[in-house]
Chain A
Amino acid sequence: MARYAVEVKNLNRTFTTKAVRGKSKKEIVKALNDVNLTINEGELFGLLGPNGAGKTTLIKILCTLLLPSSGEARVLGHDVHKDTNAIRQKINMVSGGETSGYGLLTVRENIWLFSQLYGIPSKEANRRIDMLMKELKLEHKKNSKVRTLSTGLRQKANMVRGFMTDPALIFLDEPTLGLDVNASRLIRDFIKNWIREKPSRTVLLTTHYMVEADELCDRVAIINDGRVLACDTPDNLKKLIHQDSVLKLEIRQVDNVTAFENIAGVRNFTHSNDMASGITRLKFILDDEAIVADIVAAVPKSGSKILSVQKTEPTLEDVFVALVGRGLTNHEV
């Protein structure tokens, strides 16, 4: 029988927003809505969803920062409500896009401090810090004050802090957010290598970068508005829309895309404008390829001109669009 690193049953979390006199009323927001999920031990599991989907709320509950409103969540066999101490000994977390750390301390001092909160013996802590700093190419900055580091270097230091405790389960909340291509790649490669080293290690990664989820994850759950819409391997998720055609069009920039919204047979449609090059990019998920002619015919009606046409294989983003009804950065249709 497979052992679950994470087991979530009917999990709900609501937040009550404060009323602002004359401006807004008190509101109850459902951040997680009846979530059911299992993550196997040794799995690199991805949570994919837009901002506000509930990814971070779920991670906060699992790493004992937040209590659920109702439902059950177990981490490495321990209840998040009752067995916080047992969970905390085995987990760690790294959040992206933040500037955490004591700026007056050096990188090494910061990481050392956290190693001591986990009771790691000095010799072992030093060995792990050196090894991780080398792997994440942070060695040259070990004696620099944290306040002098760039965003990318701070995130690498944050990664060393999280992995230095050798957790059985690590929560990575958008670890590559705001990083350049090289730093992102280094971190992705590091995560892949880390989980390969020991079969018992588990990673729960949240991201809204589709490529990252596709490249790294054994399984992916797509989450939106607090609900898990689908959960499977990236390949199986893509098969969900394999029968559908994905058509990409580049046309001369138009402001009004209503001509494309109501074409019969289009399951989903997203668009984005590239102001610099004056191009509008359209993406259609079609029930039937016969509709391509209707789409092409709609281009001159919108007052534009076709620059390129491409039929592609479905990606995780297409799955996301098909399930959610919008892309992560596009307008809802």
Chain B
Amino acid sequence: MAVNRKSRSMGISQKSLKSMRRSIPRYPTGNYHPNKENVESRHRNARTLKWSAWLGWQMESNWADPFLFMVYSVAKPIAASLILVVMYSIIAAIGGGPDIGLFHYMFVSNAFFMYVGQVLFGVAQIVHDDREHFQTMKYIYISPSNYFSYMIGRSVSKMVITTFAVIITMAFGVFLLNVPLNIFTINWLLFMAVMVIGIFCIMAFGLALAGLSFLTAKHQGGMNEGIAGLFYLFCGVVFPVSILPSWGMSFAKILPITYWLELVRRTLNLGVGMDSTLSGASTAYCMAILCLSTLIFSIVALAIFKVGDTVARQKGLIDMTTAY
């Protein structure tokens, strides 16, 4: 009653107060919420998400002292950028001269492709690590928390670390390789929307691979790298999609990563116009296709995860340890 009186004095309506209460997941305390089970479940999933993200961060960072981890985190993306410079030099030498537009295309595409490599590969690797290495998967699996929340939480840390790596790479490109990134001309709103949808899409792919990882042990690493390699080849990362044969271009056009990378390049104004396949398409069109293909792939990914989960439970693979 005291809360109600206070809310009235603050000018908040009873309806909006109820709505606010419903939106806050909290542990049940007495007769507060009519649907106790739902509240408990929401509360559990929120905690699972938070603490699995924390676990992911610990796993990524806790293997070395903070200074060494910082050095590694900076050195790794810079080393990857330097490899790219070598690759570009060879392409330029073979192609008869430097093409700075192609370099910018490659640089920005590769920088943002780190999300695909790290998040997609990382999400699927969680199943393998928890089951075979840490032998904790069965205990997580039989807990009442949603396994999905756990996986998403774990992948959040990978996403944060990759974001750091992408920023380092871009900074290295701007300051040492003369990549002409102007942060004042970027459409930040569009960029953020593109990033959210793109990362959502990559995580969905990761969950699909995680579903398949339930059923495999030895082949899991190869499968993850194979899928990431497929995207690397067909989505316009090291060369424009227009270089691909016609069947390759058709395949590239159904992959959301192709549209995501194109939109990233457009919002950052780097390497734009290098790819004739999508140069005629408007940004709105690319965005619409990205959203649609992400939606379709997410539904398929969810189905694959569910099927993988059920088959693993049927076959007794949830706590499989193969020592491969």
A-side residues, CB < 8 A to B, are 15, 57, 60, 63-67, 85, 88-89, 91-93, 95, 98-105, 109, 112-114, 116-119, 121, 161
B142 in contact with A118 (CB, 8 Å): no
The complex places the Cα of A85 from the Cα of B147 at a distance, in Å, of 11
From known contacts A63-B142, A114-B143, A161-B139, infer whether A119 and B318 are also in contact, taking CB-CB under 8 Å: no
Q: Contacts of A85 on B, CB cut-off 8 Å?
A: 144
Q: Is B279 an interface residue (CB 8 A)?
A: no
> Are A93 and B138 in contact (CB-based, < 8 A)?
yes
5 contacts between A and B (CB under 8 A): A64-B313, A66-B313, A88-B142, A116-B48, A119-B145
Write out the residue numbers on chain B whose beta carbons fall within 8 Å of the beta carbon of A101.
134-136
A119 CB to nearest B CB, Å: 3
Bound CA span A114–B52, Å: 10
By Cβ-Cβ distance, the 7 closest A-B pairs, closest first, are: A119-B44, A100-B135, A116-B51, A117-B143, A117-B145, A88-B144, A89-B144
Main secondary structure of the interface of B (DSSP, over half): helix
Contact, CB under 8 Å: A88 / B136:
no
Contacts of B138 on A, CB cut-off 8 Å? 65, 93, 95
5 additional A-B residue pairs with CB within 8 Å, beyond A57-B316, A65-B319, A100-B139: A64-B142, A65-B316, A104-B59, A114-B139, A117-B144
List chain A residues, Cβ under 8 A from B48: 116-117, 119
Question: B58 at the A/B interface (Cβ < 8 Å)?
Answer: yes
Q: Which one of B47, B58, B59 lies within 8 Å of A119 (CB-CB)?
A: B47
Whether B27 lies near A119 (C-beta < 8 A) is: yes
Q: Chain A residue with minimal CB distance to B321?
A: A98
A100 touches B134 (CB 8 A): yes
Contact residues in A for B314 (Cβ distance below 8 Å): 67
A64-B220 Cα distance, complex, nearest whole Å? 24
Could you say which residues of chain A place their CB within 8 Å of the CB of B58?
102, 104-105, 109
Per the 8 Å Cβ criterion, residues 92-127 of B in contact with A are none
Chain A CB count within 10 A is highest, among B27, B142, B313, for B142
Instruction: Say if the beta carbon of B7 comes within 8 Å of chain A.
Output: no
B50 is an interface residue with CB less than 8 A from chain A: yes
Q: Are B145 and A102 in contact (CB under 8 A)?
A: no
